[in-house]
Chain A
Amino acid sequence: MFTKQMENLADVLIKSEISQGQDKDVIVYGLSAGMELALNILTTVILGVMFGLVLESLIFLGSFAFIRTYAGGYHCKKAINCYLMSNGFIILVLSVIKFTPEGYMFYLGVAMLLIAIPVLLKLAPVETPSKPLDEGEQKYYYKKTVVHLGIESAVIIILFLLKQNRFSFLGCIGIALSAGLAFAQQQQKKHENV
């Protein structure tokens, strides 16, 4: 999204000899990805403010990213589509949190986990055309996904026991969305191979 501007900035950093000897490609990649990440996080916080659910938006973001970073999953081909889709999901999640009665959250959360955890254990990690994974990476990311799923599930159970249904439900949605996106990418890969 910001590649052209970031190339100019990388040129300045390299010319001033403050790029720590790194290649221009590495700097440009980091700058563009960082800008997109910062924009996504900022938009999530703004949406949280608009819904009056800032803490919830940050907890969802953390719970989703915790699994997604190792399980992988669907990515749009264009940055702008990825941005719009991400924020569409945030709006959807915040709406669900706002309008779901707390009494139903436990049952809905458990149902989500019962579907999402087996899906993730079966599919993760899911590669994308822009990030193909070799055998070593597949094994490493699978182990990481299992460990992260274990940690997040334990936190969710503790939160349910402490009657913090809203926060544990957010964790369940984060895991379910990660599983959904992993499944979507797997289906797309199958479709492309046919």
Chain B
Amino acid sequence: MRNGAYKNFMYSLGGVVASLALMITTLNVNTTCLYMAHQPKLPDSAKKLRKF
């Protein structure tokens, strides 16, 4: 029972992390740069996230 709850929690956490990663890549595709953080080259597959 406890093990199942832990697995569910980790699964949800993974979902949040994946959503955040997607959000940040989308943000980077739709802006010239993010704050002062380093900006590596965007992967080609990220271009489909462009909103304009």
Q: Are A18 and B14 neighbours in the complex by a CB distance under 8 Å?
A: yes
Residue A126 at the B interface, CB < 8 A? yes
- Complex CA gap A12/B13 in Å reads 12
Size class of the contact patch on chain A? 35 or more
- Complex CA gap A35/B25 in Å reads 12
Size class of the contact patch on chain B? 20 to 34
- Closest chain A residue to B44 by CB distance? A25
Which residues in A have their C-beta under 8 angstroms from that of B42? 29, 130-131
CB-CB contacts below 8 Å: A10-25 with B: 10, 12-13, 16, 18-20, 22-23, 25
Which of A82-90, A114-122, A159-167 lies at the binding interface? A82-90
Q: Are A25 and B38 neighbours in the complex by a CB distance under 8 Å?
A: no
Other A-B contacts than A33-B37, A79-B38, 11 sampled, CB-CB below 8 A, are A18-B14, A19-B18, A25-B43, A29-B40, A30-B20, A30-B23, A31-B21, A31-B24, A69-B34, A73-B32, A86-B35
